[in-house]
């Protein structure tokens, strides 16, 4: 049998019908809904005379629109209350399991899938959210869908897709001090550009990936869409199996043994071909920080803001000038030392327990600079409970951070939690687009430890100075 890739194996095993010209109808194993798309999609489905084909394979949770204020309830954000009530009514009516606000299991869709054991190697996992590529960190084939596709999946438990090309990115070597999964993936995007993965399913491999925790792998895969790759994935191994063992919806008993036997067949075979391969020596990577309005606008924290005059063409030069104007920065200025107003530690990129431990290690025994608003928003109820069991909430609160309830919050600011115009944040999120954290708000992307260091310093700073 010809050598095959992880992507190829999962794709092939999910084809219901080959439609020609590279298109196929694929079976969907898991479909997760969130509060921004559930109500409208379910109402439209019903009005068109369909029922949910497989409610038992459909999961829902409110994350984008919920308040993260401690003590929250459905009316904390009055503008969103009708949406949340509609979400509850429609998921109940459709017989879909929802992990409701303040219920164990609630959280950001891409945090709860893995932690509940719903995301499993070899599964095809979709959600109406572009960061569904996150689930590839456990060897699933995950990708985001548009609204009409959400309705198609609800009605048929299948999806029509064009098969992408395949790319492998090999991260080899040992990361230096203060360099995290977030730094590696931001560095890659800076190297290959925001369109460097267009039209490809990406597999991450190499010694640095092999040595990485599952939570780091989820962070890596989360940003795949930020360089145009709809799919990012990593071959399952013992690290993935250990992570999944004993989780709420993981296989158990004899089913666990059967699952492991299947999962072991999934990794890419030696000699399998990719359309493109990229090698990254992680020893060359320092802690990263974005300076502009795209994740590709990224530099090491000790670099200076780039000069648009060095751009290769007029379009790039104009884009860089526009980004610098929006961000209020000057070419040639050191990025370190830029004063900030906000720090946001959260989102489906960096709100897991290991992220909070990293940030907590910097915050411990220190104080947030007066005048800086610093928020920690755990990615899920489970993350929050674990952090509180470890006393991390007290570490953050004593340092002057706000300790909040799980949700997307200031990643998208869809729940009204936004940064005032003109203010500047360091955020652990995945998008620094204009207006992403509020109209006129300026966002610098970085790792959790870099964000915590910025909160203490009141400015963008090299976290390594604060590391023992």
To the nearest whole angstrom, how small is the minimum distance from the Cβ of residue 128 to ligand SF4? Answer: 10
Q: Does 131 bind ligand SF4 (CB under 6 A)?
A: yes
To the nearest whole angstrom, how small is the minimum distance from the Cβ of residue 111 to ligand SF4? Answer: 8
To the nearest whole angstrom, how small is the minimum distance from the Cβ of residue 109 to ligand SF4? Answer: 6
Choice between 108 and 234, CB closer to ligand SF4: 108
Interacting positions 340-359 with ligand SF4 (CB under 6 A)? 347-348
Choice between 347 and 382, CB closer to ligand SF4: 347
Residues pairing with 330 in the sheet: none
Choice between 181 and 336, CB closer to ligand SF4: 181
To the nearest whole angstrom, how small is the minimum distance from the Cβ of residue 22 to ligand SF4? Answer: 29
Dihedral angle, C-alpha 191, 349, 80, 414, nearest 10 °: -20
To the nearest whole angstrom, how small is the minimum distance from the Cβ of residue 351 to ligand SF4? Answer: 8
Query: Of 404, 413, 407, which is closest to residue 440 (Cα–Cα)?
Result: 413
Beta carbons of 368 and 342 less than 8 angstroms apart: no
To the nearest whole angstrom, how small is the minimum distance from the Cβ of residue 44 to ligand SF4? Answer: 21
Q: Does 45 bind ligand SF4 (CB under 6 A)?
A: no
Choice between 127 and 399, CB closer to ligand SF4: 127
Interacting positions 48-87 with ligand SF4 (CB under 6 A)? 63-64
Choice between 430 and 432, CB closer to ligand SF4: 430
To the nearest whole angstrom, how small is the minimum distance from the Cβ of residue 40 to ligand SF4? Answer: 17
Choice between 58 and 347, CB closer to ligand SF4: 347
Choice between 108 and 167, CB closer to ligand SF4: 108
Of 129, 149, 203, 405, which lies in the binding site for ligand SF4, with binding defined by CB under 6 A?
A: 129
Distances (CA, A) of 80 to 66, 102, 105, 309, 416: 8, 16, 21, 45, 9
Choice between 110 and 297, CB closer to ligand SF4: 110
DSSP conformation letters of 145-171:
--HHHHHHHHHHSEEEEEPPEEEEEEE
The tokens describing 394, both together, are 């007290």
The tokens describing 81, both together, are 């209350």
State phi, psi for 159 to the nearest 5 degrees.
-145, 145
Choice between 218 and 305, CB closer to ligand SF4: 218
Helix (H, G, I), strand (E, B) or coil at 68: coil
How many helices (H) and strands (E) are present in the chain, helices listed first?
A: 15, 19
The tokens describing 194, both together, are 């925001």
Burial of 211 (0-12, 13-18, 19+ CB in 10 A): middle
To the nearest whole angstrom, how small is the minimum distance from the Cβ of residue 284 to ligand SF4? Answer: 28
Among 105-113, 171-179, 201-209, 275-283, the segment contacting ligand SF4 (CB under 6 A): 105-113
Give the total of residues touching ligand SF4 (CB under 6 A).
Answer: 13
Among 47-55, 102-110, 240-248, 369-377, the segment contacting ligand SF4 (CB under 6 A): 102-110
State phi, psi for 204 to the nearest 5 degrees.
-100, 135
DSSP conformation letters of 185-239:
HHHHHHHH-TTTTTTEEEEEESHHHHTS-HHHHHHHHHGGGGGT-SEEE----HH
Q: Which residues contact 385 (CB under 8 A, 6 or more apart)?
A: 104
Of 430, 437, 443, 449, which lies in the binding site for ligand SF4, with binding defined by CB under 6 A?
A: 430
Beta carbons of 351 and 443 less than 8 angstroms apart: no
To the nearest whole angstrom, how small is the minimum distance from the Cβ of residue 296 to ligand SF4? Answer: 17
Among 103-111, 228-236, 237-245, 314-322, the segment contacting ligand SF4 (CB under 6 A): 103-111
Dihedral angle, C-alpha 417, 437, 222, 126, nearest 10 °: 60
Among 108-116, 149-157, 258-266, 458-466, the segment contacting ligand SF4 (CB under 6 A): 108-116
Q: Does 419 bind ligand SF4 (CB under 6 A)?
A: no
Choice between 110 and 200, CB closer to ligand SF4: 110
To the nearest whole angstrom, how small is the minimum distance from the Cβ of residue 36 to ligand SF4? Answer: 9
Choice between 338 and 351, CB closer to ligand SF4: 351
Distances (CA, A) of 233 to 53, 116, 280, 374, 467: 27, 19, 17, 32, 31
DSSP conformation letters of 399-442:
HT-EE--SS-GGGT-TTS--PPTT-EEEESSS---TTTTSTT-E
Interacting positions 232-261 with ligand SF4 (CB under 6 A)? none
Which is it for the CA torsion 452, 454, 457, 462, positive or negative? positive
Interacting positions 383-412 with ligand SF4 (CB under 6 A)? 408, 411-412
Choice between 129 and 237, CB closer to ligand SF4: 129
| Residue ranges in contact with ligand SF4 by CB under 6 A | 63-64, 108-110, 129, 131, 347-348, 408, 411-412, 430
């Amino acid at each position: 049998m010809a050598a095959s890739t992880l992507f190829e194996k999962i794709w092939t095993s999910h084809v219901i019908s080959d439609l020609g010209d590279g298109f196929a109808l694929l079976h969907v194993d898991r479909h997760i809904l969130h509060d921004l798309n559930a109500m409208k999609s379910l109402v439209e489905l019903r009005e068109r005379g369909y029922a949910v084909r497989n409610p038992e394979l459909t999961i829902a949770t409110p994350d984008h629109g919920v308040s993260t204020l401690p003590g929250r309830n459905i009316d904390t954000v009055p503008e969103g209350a009708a949406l949340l009530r509609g979400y509850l009514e429609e998921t109940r009516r459709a017989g879909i399991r929802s992990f409701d606000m303040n219920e164990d299991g609630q959280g950001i869709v891409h945090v709860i899938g893995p932690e509940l054991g719903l995301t499993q190697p070899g599964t095809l996992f979709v959600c109406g959210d572009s960061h569904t590529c996150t689930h590839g960190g456990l060897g699933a084939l995950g990708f985001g869908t548009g609204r009409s596709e959400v309705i198609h999946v609800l009605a048929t438990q299948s999806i029509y897709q064009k098969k992408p090309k395949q790319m492998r990115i090999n991260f080899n070597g040992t990361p230096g001090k203060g360099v995290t999964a977030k730094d590696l993936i931001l560095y890659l995007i800076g190297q290959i550009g925001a369109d460097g993965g267009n039209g490809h399913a990406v597999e991450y491999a190499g010694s640095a990936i092999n040595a990485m925790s599952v939570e780091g792998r989820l962070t890596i895969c989360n940003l795949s869409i930020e360089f145009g790759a709809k799919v990012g994935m990593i071959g399952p191994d013992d690290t993935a199996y250990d992570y999944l063992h004993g989780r709420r919806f993981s296989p158990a008993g004899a089913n666990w043994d059967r699952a492991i036997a299947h999962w072991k067949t999934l990794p890419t075979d030696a000699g399998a071909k990719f359309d493109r391969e990229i090698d990254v020596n992680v020893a060359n990577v320092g802690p990263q920080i974005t300076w502009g309005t795209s994740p590709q606008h990224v530099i090491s924290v000790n670099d200076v803001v780039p000069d648009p005059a060095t751009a290769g063409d007029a379009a790039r030069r104009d884009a860089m000038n526009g980004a610098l104007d929006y961000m209020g920065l000057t070419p040639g200025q050191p990025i370190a030392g830029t004063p900030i107003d906000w720090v946001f530690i959260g989102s489906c990129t960096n709100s897991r327990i290991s992220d909070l431990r990293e940030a907590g290690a910097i915050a411990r025994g220190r104080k947030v600079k007066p005048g800086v608003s610093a928020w920690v928003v755990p990615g899920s109820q489970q993350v929050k409970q674990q952090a509180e069991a470890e006393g991390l909430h007290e570490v953050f609160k004593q340092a002057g951070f706000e300790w909040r309830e799980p949700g997307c919050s200031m990643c998208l600011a869809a729940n009204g939690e936004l940064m005032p115009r003109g203010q500047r944040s360091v955020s652990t999120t995945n998008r620094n687009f204009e207006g992403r954290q509020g109209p006129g708000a300026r966002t610098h992307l970085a790792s959790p430890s870099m964000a915590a260091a910025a909160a203490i310093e009141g400015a963008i700073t090299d976290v390594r100075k604060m590391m023992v």
